[in-house]
Amino acid sequence: MKQFADPVPHGTTTRVAFFGHPAHAMLVPFPIAFLVAVFASDLAWWHWSDPFWARMSLWLAGGGALCGILAGIAGTAELLAVRDIRRRAAAWSHFVVAVMLLSVGMANWGLRLGDAEAAIVPLGLYLSGLGVVLVGVAGWLGGTLVFEHQVGVLSEDEED
């Protein structure tokens, strides 16, 4: 039903999807898990000084950055394809925080490509911690889009 009182209609469909399921929502669990785990792995290296944790952090940082870029491409395609997503302030806030997160994630990975152990204290730990905060804010705003604004949840025939 059309919401005349609300300049931004409630709910949108998804255009970047597999069989009606939003691709972005399917991809985001991977960078979220990797980017949180790299902080835990950095803390483990700081505590035990076992090179295993430095290698683990290197792979987690790389996986988080690359999967984050894949998820970001799907999210950006959705943003560009659906006008009613572009009309929501929460969508742009989410986009800005996500781009900051991906920049921090790439820097955190690049830093470790030389000497994975030397990179951890202090800069690696700082970037991993900042990544966790940005994951939290980006995830919160993404959740706001889905659960409050009902972005990507309507079927094609329900759309205005």
Task: Name the site residues for ligand HEM (rule: CB under 6 A).
Answer: 14, 22, 24-25, 28, 31-32, 68, 71-72, 75-76, 78-79, 85, 91, 94-95, 98-99, 101-102, 135, 138-139, 142-143, 145-146, 151-152
The CA-atom distances, in angstroms, between 114 and each of 7, 45, 108, 109 are 51, 17, 12, 10
Closest by Cα among 103, 107, 105, 97 to 33: 105
Q: Which tokens is 147 given?
A: 């659960």
Of the pair 25, 61, the CB lying nearest ligand HEM is at 25
Instruction: Compute the least distance from the CB of residue 30 to ligand HEM, in Å.
Output: 8
Of the pair 124, 152, the CB lying nearest ligand HEM is at 152
Closest by Cα among 55, 41, 52, 51 to 128: 41
Q: What is the dihedral of CA 86, 132, 100, 93, to 10 degrees?
A: 30
Instruction: Compute the least distance from the CB of residue 60 to ligand HEM, in Å.
Output: 13
Of the pair 75, 124, the CB lying nearest ligand HEM is at 75
| Beta strands, E only, 56-135 | none
Instruction: Compute the least distance from the CB of residue 73 to ligand HEM, in Å.
Output: 8
3-state class (DSSP) for residue 4: coil
Instruction: Compute the least distance from the CB of residue 58 to ligand HEM, in Å.
Output: 19
Of the pair 76, 126, the CB lying nearest ligand HEM is at 76
